[in-house]
Amino acid sequence: MWDAGGRKYLDCYNNVPHVGHCNPRVVEAICKQAATLNTHTRYLHEGILDYVERLTATCEDPLETAILTCTGSEANDIALRMAEAMTGKRGIVATDATYHGNTTLVSHLSKSNVPEVGFGLGQYLRHVEAPDSYRIADPDGQRFAAKVQEAIDDLERSGIGFAALIVCPLFLNEGFPTQAEGWLRPAAEAVRRAGGLLICDEVQSGFGRSGSHFWAHQRQGVTPDVVTMGKPMGNGHPVAGLVTTAEIMARFRKSFRYFNTFGGNPVSCAAAMAVLDELQERNLQANAARIGQLAQQRLVELAGRHPVIGDVRQSGMVFGAEFVLDRQERTPAAAYADLVVNKMRQRGIILSKLGRHKNTLKIRPPMPFGAEHLDLLMTTLDEVLTETPVIA
Amino acid sequence: MWDAGGRKYLDCYNNVPHVGHCNPRVVEAICKQAATLNTHTRYLHEGILDYVERLTATCEDPLETAILTCTGSEANDIALRMAEAMTGKRGIVATDATYHGNTTLVSHLSKSNVPEVGFGLGQYLRHVEAPDSYRIADPDGQRFAAKVQEAIDDLERSGIGFAALIVCPLFLNEGFPTQAEGWLRPAAEAVRRAGGLLICDEVQSGFGRSGSHFWAHQRQGVTPDVVTMGKPMGNGHPVAGLVTTAEIMARFRKSFRYFNTFGGNPVSCAAAMAVLDELQERNLQANAARIGQLAQQRLVELAGRHPVIGDVRQSGMVFGAEFVLDRQERTPAAAYADLVVNKMRQRGIILSKLGRHKNTLKIRPPMPFGAEHLDLLMTTLDEVLTETPVIA
């Protein structure tokens, strides 16, 4: 990336340009379709049919049908209504350090940014403690499942009832905790026992980013009832959506005649199809796995020389380090994380921080990120950590 | 437009391609920007600054600030929250034959498609009788204002309180009734007296379509607190938004940290700016006024020969005829309207029908629609009406 002054940056953060900024294949697909025909989806077009077939083929049975929208927020907004339609209940469970979007309903899922307004919908939400592999032992997800069960019980006691658990399968906003494969299974079982839906928000974690699987829920050993997706789907073109089962779709369609003017229009589908083509032909999921492993090694090396790094975590093409004032108490060094992010930017490297304690570097580059980019990133990070005294 | 089999159609209905299908200026703007840079709006870009300045310059004071989104639904979803933030109340009034979008909250505004699910938000809605200039005498909008006042009173009696009236200033879904300039003023006064907000949904009526004004609320003699917009804004590219006052924006921002990944990204702004350029340089608002007048004359001529036409109405580049079984009783001929729409399509003319009684032809072509297109449309309509016996 270059800024307005012509300065060059290495983008180690943005997941919207999933297959790379200004990816030529995607740009060409958009230009070609925009110059040919663009209508809403009340006029049938093979673009959406071909794309939905290709998209649902990446999901396991019985996830076989889709709705396309413009934003992940819209997709999550529908997913929550699907849960209400299927269960007749309204209680939603999410973690206390997540973000799922900005509609009136969905915005209530963000505990860190609880809206003061929102038509009273906060009453239907229960937040559970986010997983934190560095501070809270939960090797097999049983502890998290118990927290989910408590929230379900509370919703049922209150008379609201339980409709769904919504999570990012990699818990990316929560700080992408290290988890064994299948870690989410106990929570999913609690959800099913209670008659609720499991919604996996794969806006960040999907489209191969985890390296090991195309969808991160597959790594977690669960089959969600609804998978929502967004940001990377069209490489910046506003397209998003969800995949679900025929039964859930039928129930939702019966209860509400949903239509989205721009969702899945021919240009959106052309962009989204080009993204799938790029991922496949350039083997970008395998690249994510390889770079993730290399990043892990380099970060572990840095941790050997920089005591401020308390923990190193990676999930394919998402990786980072948690900064602490001391490794004993693991006191979060949030201000230091801010400082490092800004110093990296001054040196032309874009990354960010996040997590329960806002002290974790979040490095989430576009999928074509290569070993040479990783080398520049890690060399610069080493320099910055060396020259920056730890602050509280 | 050409279909997959190569058959040519005259599009007399779609408002998404506002400045024409595959408009070369818009396509070029999209291609150029998509190949240069596309990021979310957390990275500042002059595209959104320039566009918002240009957009707000089309609005009267104190409408001076904007949020860009991807869909009109998202814009209306925000507008309703702004009303809640400003008033501390949740009661919303809309007409009983409208549509404002598809989020959980906004979908409740559509009485014709009331969702069975929706987290109980229906309790905050009150629907008032839609204006109908053909059947209900209300020359100065006093009757409509009284209906709005009744709904406000009901909301206040119920303890919910009144937050906003949301209307399309041309009542396009309701059948675009004939109204004197300033017709909406009494309703706006009732809204302000009650301390609520007036939200004008200009998704259909804006961007010059009314012919007489760039925004249709200007024709109605009112200055809304929030103006929402969508479909035509990017000529098919998913961009939408709202314009409001600094005070409302500040109150909303204080109560909720809104962010939209794709809303107002550089490509969206390039597309939207190209639409404004096209409208201005080709004088398309004036064209809408001229074609609307011509259409009115032609439809009145047809009414002279076809008794099935009970009423002719136009608001610039939106015009149509209401079909009735008899001009005495004005019995709606909805099945006949369906028949005509389908016969027109068989002859290569795309239009639709709508309105309170679903018996009104809705003709809403792209803005460059010319006199030659109008001639083909009206000649064909004459033929279809001549050959099609009236059915109930």
**CB pair distance less than 8 Å for A27 and B34:** yes
Q: Are both A111 and A245 inside the same structural domain? A: yes
Q: Would the ipTM clear 0.90, i.e. be above it?
A: yes
Distance (Å, rounded) from C-alpha B53 to C-alpha B159? 40
Q: Which amino acid is at A199?
A: I
Distance (Å, rounded) from C-alpha A316 to C-alpha A305? 23
What per-residue confidence (pLDDT) applies to A221?
A: 95
The average pLDDT across A162-190 equals 97
Q: How confident is the model at residue A256 (pLDDT cuts 50, 70, 90)?
A: confident
Q: Give the tokens for residue A111.
A: 């505990």
For residue A303, tell me if it sits in a domain.
yes
Q: Give the tokens for residue A135.
A: 């501070």
- Nearest CA-CA distance, residue B304 and chain A, Å: 34
The average pLDDT across B73-100 equals 97
What per-residue confidence (pLDDT) applies to A152?
A: 98
**CB pair distance less than 8 Å for B105 and A107:** no
Q: Which amino acid is at B161?
A: G
Question: Pairing between strand B125-128 and B91-95?
Answer: parallel
Q: How confident is the model at residue A283 (pLDDT cuts 50, 70, 90)?
A: very high
**CB pair distance less than 8 Å for B254 and A116:** yes
Whether A229 has a pLDDT exceeding 90, the answer reads: yes
What per-residue confidence (pLDDT) applies to B244?
A: 98
- Nearest CA-CA distance, residue B381 and chain A, Å: 22
What per-residue confidence (pLDDT) applies to A114?
A: 66
* Tokens 């064209």 found at: B287
A240 within 8 A of A229, measured Cβ to Cβ: yes
Domain boundary among A281, A301, A316: A281
For residue B69, tell me if it sits in a domain.
yes
A366: preceding bond cis by omega (within 30 degrees): no
For residue B5, tell me if it sits in a domain.
no
SS3 of chain B: helix, strand, coil, percent, to 5: 40, 15, 45
For residue B301, tell me if it sits in a domain.
yes
User: Cβ of B8 under 8 Å from any chain A Cβ?
Assistant: no
In total, how many domains does chain A have?
Answer: 2
Non-local (6+) Cβ contacts of B125 within 8 A are: B91, B92, B93, B94, B108, B109
Distance (Å, rounded) from C-alpha A91 to C-alpha A151? 9
Q: Are both B277 and B289 inside the same structural domain? A: no
Q: Are both B222 and B290 inside the same structural domain? A: no
Show which of residues 233-262 on chain A sit within 8 Å of chain B, judged by CB atoms: 235-239, 252, 254-262
A78 within 8 A of A251, measured Cβ to Cβ: no
* Partner residue facing A124 (CB), from B73, B119, B124: B119
3-state secondary structure of B19: coil
Distance (Å, rounded) from C-alpha A362 to C-alpha A319? 6
B33 within 8 A of B254, measured Cβ to Cβ: no
Domain boundary among A281, A300, A320: A281
Cβ-based contacts under 8 A for chains A and B: 200
Domain boundary among A281, A309, A330: A281
**CB pair distance less than 8 Å for B70 and A37:** no
pTM of the model: 0.97
Whether A113 has a pLDDT exceeding 80, the answer reads: no
Partners of A312 in beta bridges: A321
Question: Pairing between strand A10-11 and A349-350?
Answer: parallel
Q: Are both B259 and B289 inside the same structural domain? A: no
**CB pair distance less than 8 Å for A236 and B36:** no
Closest CA to B351 of B332, B372, B373, B368: B373
What per-residue confidence (pLDDT) applies to A111?
A: 81
Q: Are both A245 and A136 inside the same structural domain? A: yes
Show which of residues 16-35 on chain B sit within 8 Å of chain A, judged by CB atoms: 16-17, 21-22, 24, 26-27, 30-31, 34-35
The average pLDDT across B303-324 equals 97
User: Cβ of A71 under 8 Å from any chain B Cβ?
Assistant: yes
Q: How confident is the model at residue A96 (pLDDT cuts 50, 70, 90)?
A: very high
Q: How confident is the model at residue A392 (pLDDT cuts 50, 70, 90)?
A: confident
Percent above pLDDT 70 for chain B: 99
For residue B291, tell me if it sits in a domain.
yes
Distance (Å, rounded) from C-alpha A207 to C-alpha A44? 26
The CATH number of the domain holding residue A315 is 3.90.1150.10
pLDDT tens per residue across span A10-58: 999 999 999 999 999 999 999 999 999 999 888 889 999 999 999 999 9
Q: Are both A362 and A296 inside the same structural domain? A: yes
- Nearest CA-CA distance, residue B173 and chain A, Å: 15
What per-residue confidence (pLDDT) applies to B257?
A: 82
For residue A4, tell me if it sits in a domain.
no
Q: How confident is the model at residue B113 (pLDDT cuts 50, 70, 90)?
A: low
**CB pair distance less than 8 Å for A238 and B116:** no
Q: Are both A263 and A314 inside the same structural domain? A: no
Q: Are both B251 and B155 inside the same structural domain? A: yes
A170 within 8 A of A176, measured Cβ to Cβ: yes
pLDDT tens per residue across span B135-171: 999 999 999 999 999 999 999 999 999 999 999 999 9
Q: Are both B44 and B157 inside the same structural domain? A: yes
Least confident range of A111-115, A246-250, B314-318: A111-115
Q: Are both B213 and B251 inside the same structural domain? A: yes
B175 within 8 A of B101, measured Cβ to Cβ: no
3-state secondary structure of B32: helix
Distance (Å, rounded) from C-alpha B176 to C-alpha B296? 13
**CB pair distance less than 8 Å for A256 and B1:** no
Distance (Å, rounded) from C-alpha A35 to C-alpha A12? 33
pLDDT tens per residue across span B2-30: 998 999 999 999 999 999 999 999 999 99
3-state secondary structure of A1: coil
For residue B85, tell me if it sits in a domain.
yes
**CB pair distance less than 8 Å for A261 and B90:** no
Whether A224 has a pLDDT exceeding 70, the answer reads: yes
The CATH number of the domain holding residue A82 is 3.40.640.10
Average per-residue pLDDT for chain B: 96
For residue A128, tell me if it sits in a domain.
yes
Q: How confident is the model at residue A116 (pLDDT cuts 50, 70, 90)?
A: confident
Range of the domain at B28: 24-281
Q: Are both B119 and B261 inside the same structural domain? A: yes
What per-residue confidence (pLDDT) applies to B116?
A: 73
Question: Pairing between strand A162-167 and A197-201?
Answer: parallel
A97 within 8 A of A128, measured Cβ to Cβ: no
Q: Are both A261 and A299 inside the same structural domain? A: no
